Amino acid sequence: MGLYCHKKFILTRRWSLWLVGPEERVSLPRRIGRDVGCFVAEMAFEVAKFLAIAVFVFLFLTQCTAIKASAATTIPRGAEQYRALLIRTAHATWGLEAPIAVFAAQVHTESRWNTNAQSPVGAVGLAQFMPATAKWMPQVDPALAGPAPTNPGWALRGLASYNLWLWQRVQGENDFERMAFVLSAYNGGLGWVQRDKTLAKQKGLNPKRWFTSVETVNAGRSKASFTENRNYPRLILQERQHAYVQAGWGRGVPRE
């Protein structure tokens, strides 16, 4: 169709040679070039407009997903009293770009901001540290000497410091995937994450991508532990962090 229109256009122009004067005949190639140039410019504009609309729709749908996720999460009333403490602690350990909303969502998932929370296996406090991990934490951050996992200040500092320690030891293809590895390691141990990454690579999967890749393999965890561990990064990154971002706690780690 395009070729036919092009030939018709040229034939029409040639026929018009008999209808114009000598001066206009000389300028005809320029006029054709100008018309073609206008056509190309119009097409480029239409393509740019289409791309702009596509980007807008993508951003709109992403924002709607975040709003829907945040609406599904209710921040416990007890969280507000620790908000300033978490912000100070996160800035002290991670700097001003600390992903505070992720840490808040993590505490939400661990204890629902209950300082007296205790798991069936013995984890305690806001950040649910096991006794053995709490004793080891001063090696990660000397400021955590004298383990006190039930103390809110110690627990929040421990969570932020342990996350940073893990962040420095895992790789991801972007910050979103990297944080998913951090959260998986916080929940189940760095050793398991490394074994899962190795197994994923052996299976031809991307070892630097958590979602849809490493999360699909199991290097030997029990079914219950595996299920809990896979849900942990999803709850925090894909759902709960958005509620804290919307509430103004601070930045999160967006999907890239």
pLDDT tens for 121-178 read 999 999 999 999 999 999 999 999 999 999 999 999 999 999 999 999 999 999 999 9
Amino acid 188: pLDDT: 96
Q: What are phi and psi of 185, to 5 degrees?
A: -70, -40
Q: Where in the chain is the domain with CATH 1.10.530.10?
A: 78-246
| CA dihedral sign, ordered 156, 161, 166, 167 | positive
For residue 79, pLDDT over 90 is answered with yes
Crossing angle of helices 223-233 and 175-188, rounded to 10°: 140
In a 10 Å sphere around its CB, with 0-12 CB exposed, 13-18 middle and 19+ buried, how is residue 43 labelled?
A: exposed
Please tell us whether the domain made up of 78-246 is placed in CATH 1.10.530.10: yes
